Structure 1
């Protein structure tokens, strides 16, 4: 009996199974464009037709192109070993992306490539494989309906065309917007995703790549608002060494109050402000992971929340760390090695802390140092293990009011207790979550004259409480929120 026997998987069964990798149409198209970049393309022309009888997705590039042997190898499943050393600019790894991405959306994949004046064609058709008795029968001709697309390729000196037909799995990701057509939703998702994933290739003024979707040029989306004057950027830090060295850079985006409405909406990205916070992992300038905290945290993993939504961190990986970071076939997931998790956590903790301060103080944090011994009218206490809020009776104004009452007058004390028992904590929390921002900041909407008038009244109260003018001014500057308006107090 032989020591071994060959047990190749039947083509029809395996090819159908490969359709379940979980691509969306935009992530599948991005995987195809990776090959265009590796082939040194300057332009990618994406054409999508999802209505009528002739439905297709076509990706055409002006890259190096492939000869017949190269094309045959590229169409083979697992066309390269993920463990072999690759060029530094290679965006692939498993030799599966072209096939798995295509099969996830369509039952027919045609690839035509032009090099050295000759065009070669290969095609996988899952319906044809279903009748091929389990054999891997790679067709050497295109369907007649592909002729117009191949003709456009032939107008180029070199390049490659990927054509998806028999589209049976193309659908919008997530729920459809009311009244919006599925095709419109899909096209928007494609354009926004490509602008995010390939931002560093598309960015002006000298783009390395131009992507055109149905004739429209894809715009790069910068998740870090690097050019905004209010964005806070930390220096790049290096972790690791040699070929496994990675770069880490923190960004704290501006508060909503420091952006225009259009800037704020655009900076929210594909998934929205809360979902887009966290780490952005790039491999050879191609985005793999857009947001999330990589399972890091103190005690338990951090979650995405409102107060840290301004925090974004850029990680730059070389393709030599693919295995250590567990890069998946779809190039949409990564996990940091155990050896550097603590370093990443400490770096992220600082960015998160600063981002939370910017969010809470509406971008004003750090404008001036906090007043020493700052007094606030409210204080947080624990009652029965739960947070509660009480009027601080040691606040200078509260002290003055309580001291000025007759001994048997409990009206103000009773009113304070009523306020404490009716703080609308749940309402504040619901409004914050639903509106995606904190309630109005102290004195927002008040004119300078109104703030001056209130400050003048409180100065009088403090003076009547036994303070001379100079000490009353200094004490008022230590009362929230007047610590933010020392210039107004000095004017009185």
Structure 2
């Protein structure tokens, strides 16, 4: 038997790893992971979008010597199977390279310990030209001439990562400056959320400061954990393969109780409905958020519930953490436990939400529009407990259900109260009272009931209570006909 070592063809492999699927903000977060793992207390992101654009990420971590830098620049520098410290935010030993080259063609890394500098560069154009794994190494003299080392010189030790030649942005846009500025602004919000437990730690002495062009990033807190109006529920702990998974639900205050400071802390997450669900942290770094992992559907009444899940890096494979550290899946081992926590949290969320207003309508009738008394102010809201609405919502996937509810919210918030009041006051006979033929009412009732049968819903309860539904209650002949047909079938 013979053996042969086949080294991957550098240009093809490097170009293919650029398409793993990093977004700009996820790539930048991956570099920050390395800084945090090196013990950094200060991380400075500097950028220039005019002239010769670049982005540099500088930290005051432990730094690297030349041998350590060579290893860090190697593709697959650390196995995902290796034991890692509980502060290590890495995954496959690929992040520095694949995250960087997903956004640029030239990656330069300069590191120092005391006054000893070392530097190296992956330039994809050089790799392509030479058809080999050509790592450019810099002398100390060359390092001193490299742009934007001012921040690194301030620190006793640390590392600077520099991105240049943003080919993918420049190839897809005629305005590199505008697009790069927009991406950096979005990345700032992303960093404020993903690293919020590092920026604003439970132990202030462990806080990490992150800056964008010398402007300090303020943490976004998706749980409003310092607000007296937030309801933190008790934490539960599960064991998987000897490692702990910690789960803590929070019930946010209703929107009307949010202060300006609360909204500032929520940042881009102030859209409560779109951001309900689980927030999964790996070593306190946010991985996935705003999803129920298909345990339940997003719903208007669930929108105040957010559940923090803390997992260690020892469970990466079980949670299926990907190379980008932006997706995860719940292990089957704890799905039932999490579902019980979800159901309890949703109950709390519903109670908070329902407290916001008291229905004034006759409770014996299922109205399409509910008149709600909200602390002396009245509002009409569409009744989401109607069977027809439940049928429609059940037939949609989570994303489409979100669109439906967003549209209904828009309808409710745009109800033309003043215009209706004005027109009725001016001419009460000028308002059309819609009349519908009995045959159409009957057909609509049959469609609703048959759909309920198909979806396994309790259609007989609807048949027996048809007379209490506002839409049908004035059509006794239809109600009688439906009952005769379905009760006797």
TM norm structure 1:
0.70
2:18 counterpart SS class: helix
Q: Is the 8 A contact 2:46 2:55 kept in 1?
A: yes
2:182 counterpart SS class: helix
Say if 1:4 and 1:271 are closer, same or farther in 2 by CA, change over 3 A: farther
1:100 counterpart SS class: helix
Q: Which residue of 2 aligns with 1:57?
A: 55
> What does the per-residue CA deviation read over 1:416-475, in whole Å, with 9 as the maximum and x for residues that have no partner?
xxxxxxxxx99x9776432797989xxxxxxxxxxxxxxxxxxxxxxxxxxxxxxxxxxx
Counterparts of 1:245-394 in structure 2 under 5 Å? 245-261=244-260, 263-264=262-263, 266-267=265-266, 269-270=268-269, 272-297=271-296, 302=297, 304-362=298-356, 377-379=362-364
Say if 1:359 and 1:265 are closer, same or farther in 2 by CA, change over 3 A: farther
Equivalent-residue separation in structure 1 for 2:18 and 2:95 (angstroms):
11
2:341 counterpart SS class: helix
Q: Which residue of 1 aligns with 2:182?
A: 185
Q: Which residue of 1 aligns with 2:76?
A: 78
Q: Which residue of 2 aligns with 1:148?
A: 147
Q: Is the 8 A contact 2:169 2:179 kept in 1?
A: no
Tell whether 2:192 aligns with 1:195.
yes
Q: 1:201, CA displacement in angstroms?
A: 0.8
TM norm structure 2:
0.70
> What does the per-residue CA deviation read over 1:271-322, in whole Å, with 9 as the maximum and x for residues that have no partner?
833222111111111111122012223xxxx2x3333221100001111111
Q: 1:269, CA displacement in angstroms?
A: 2.6
Say if 1:361 and 1:113 are closer, same or farther in 2 by CA, change over 3 A: same
Q: 1:244, CA displacement in angstroms?
A: 1.8
Q: Is the 8 A contact 1:108 1:165 kept in 2?
A: yes
- What CA RMSD, in Å, does the superposition of the two structures yield over aligned residues? 3.3
Say if 1:105 and 1:241 are closer, same or farther in 2 by CA, change over 3 A: closer
Equivalent-residue separation in structure 1 for 2:76 and 2:312 (angstroms):
22
Equivalent-residue separation in structure 2 for 1:431 and 1:107 (angstroms):
43
Q: Is the 8 A contact 1:267 1:273 kept in 2?
A: no
Tell whether 2:90 aligns with 1:92.
yes
Q: 1:229, CA displacement in angstroms?
A: 1.4
Equivalent-residue separation in structure 1 for 2:335 and 2:365 (angstroms):
34
Q: 1:270, CA displacement in angstroms?
A: 4.8
Q: 1:146, CA displacement in angstroms?
A: 6.2
Equivalent-residue separation in structure 1 for 2:288 and 2:100 (angstroms):
21
2:165 counterpart SS class: strand
Say which one has the larger Rg. 1
Q: 1:4, CA displacement in angstroms?
A: 3.0
Say if 1:147 and 1:390 are closer, same or farther in 2 by CA, change over 3 A: closer
Gapped regions of structure 1 (runs ≥ 5): 366-373, 382-386, 392-424, 441-492
> What does the per-residue CA deviation read over 1:185-222, in whole Å, with 9 as the maximum and x for residues that have no partner?
32331211111111111116445210010010000111
Q: Is the 8 A contact 2:119 2:143 kept in 1?
A: no
Q: 1:87, CA displacement in angstroms?
A: 1.1
Q: 1:378, CA displacement in angstroms?
A: 4.1
Equivalent-residue separation in structure 2 for 1:436 and 1:35 (angstroms):
47
Equivalent-residue separation in structure 2 for 1:189 and 1:73 (angstroms):
31
> What does the per-residue CA deviation read over 1:147-177, in whole Å, with 9 as the maximum and x for residues that have no partner?
1323542342110000000012349x9xx9x
Say if 1:389 and 1:166 are closer, same or farther in 2 by CA, change over 3 A: closer
Say if 1:330 and 1:259 are closer, same or farther in 2 by CA, change over 3 A: same
Equivalent-residue separation in structure 2 for 1:277 and 1:261 (angstroms):
20
Q: Is the 8 A contact 2:118 2:143 kept in 1?
A: no
Partner of residue 65 from structure 2, selected from 64, 67, 86:
67
Partner of residue 127 from structure 1, selected from 107, 111, 125:
125
Equivalent-residue separation in structure 1 for 2:70 and 2:361 (angstroms):
73
Gapped regions of structure 2 (runs ≥ 5): 372-388, 393-403, 417-489
Q: Which residue of 2 aligns with 1:485?
A: none
Say if 1:19 and 1:138 are closer, same or farther in 2 by CA, change over 3 A: same
Report how many aligned residue pairs link the two structures. 379
1:279 counterpart SS class: strand
Q: Is the 8 A contact 1:150 1:161 kept in 2?
A: yes
> What does the per-residue CA deviation read over 1:236-277, in whole Å, with 9 as the maximum and x for residues that have no partner?
101125742111000110001112356346536358332221
Say if 1:235 and 1:3 are closer, same or farther in 2 by CA, change over 3 A: same
1:70 counterpart SS class: helix
Say if 1:431 and 1:85 are closer, same or farther in 2 by CA, change over 3 A: closer
Q: Is the 8 A contact 1:91 1:284 kept in 2?
A: yes
